[in-house]
Amino acid sequence: MKKINELDNQNLMMLLELRKSGILDDRIFNAITSFSRKMFLPDNLKGFYKEDIDLKIFSNVISSRTSDIAKMLFLGVSKNSNTRNVLEIGTGSGWLTALLSKIYQRVYTIEINKQAYQFSSNILKNISNKISYKYGDGKKGWIEAGPFDAIYIDCLVEDEPKFLYSNLAGKDGVVILVKDYSGNQFYSCYSPKAKDILYKSTYKVSRDKII
């Protein structure tokens, strides 16, 4: 990790905000500062790359703000410290995919929106040979590529994702997603082998401003 006095103002503010939120894992900060979000935005939105806001990149496809992605990543690695195989359902812009490739040894990602898939795969092919991507419906996971230590779904999932449990590795595999609690959304974790399967984090999803 870079020393504090080596950080520019934007990254210094980001580091302080992550620390304030209780995100103390330097792997996450290092991943975020390895790429510019600008790389993962369409031309008409590149001017917003420094803003910590959600951006609608295509129809029904949102690029989540950096602070929310950091929360999701921290929940995932804190609930399962193994960082071998990971599955992402919903590639979107490829931003989260790239960050996962800095933390996990192998990343698999699925996107059902054709426009988003074409956009993100064109970027990811130049990011890392650790990333495998495909166009399709991720509801059943990617069983032949598993088992996975963690599965990330950066969107609201109403029902328990039992259909994904067969994709998980051993007793420690987890599914990280968004759940609604009385009208508020929080990043949450399903640990199917745990006594209390669902864990609600304190990390509220910020969906108050979408451009």
In a domain, 66, yes or no: yes
Helices and strands: H and E segment counts in the chain = 5, 9
What pLDDT, on a 0 to 100 scale, did the predictor assign at position 72? 94
Q: Are 4 and 19 in contact (CB under 8 A)?
A: no
- CA 153, 154, 158: angle at the middle one, nearest 5? 70
In a domain, 209, yes or no: no
- CA 140, 102, 149: angle at the middle one, nearest 5? 35
Domains of the chain: total: 1
In a domain, 163, yes or no: yes
What pLDDT, on a 0 to 100 scale, did the predictor assign at position 26? 83
Going by their DSSP bridges, the two strands 106-111 and 85-89 should be labelled as: parallel
In a domain, 210, yes or no: no
In a domain, 30, yes or no: yes
Going by their DSSP bridges, the two strands 106-111 and 131-135 should be labelled as: parallel
Domain range for 94 is 4-204
In a domain, 150, yes or no: yes
Q: Which residues are catalytic?
A: 64
pLDDT tens for the chain, 211 residues long, are 444 444 455 666 666 777 777 777 888 888 888 888 999 999 999 999 888 899 999 988 999 988 899 999 999 999 999 999 999 999 999 999 999 999 999 999 999 999 999 999 999 999 999 999 999 999 889 999 999 999 999 999 999 999 999 999 988 999 999 999 999 999 999 999 988 999 999 999 986 656 6
Domain harbouring 66, CATH code? 3.40.50.150
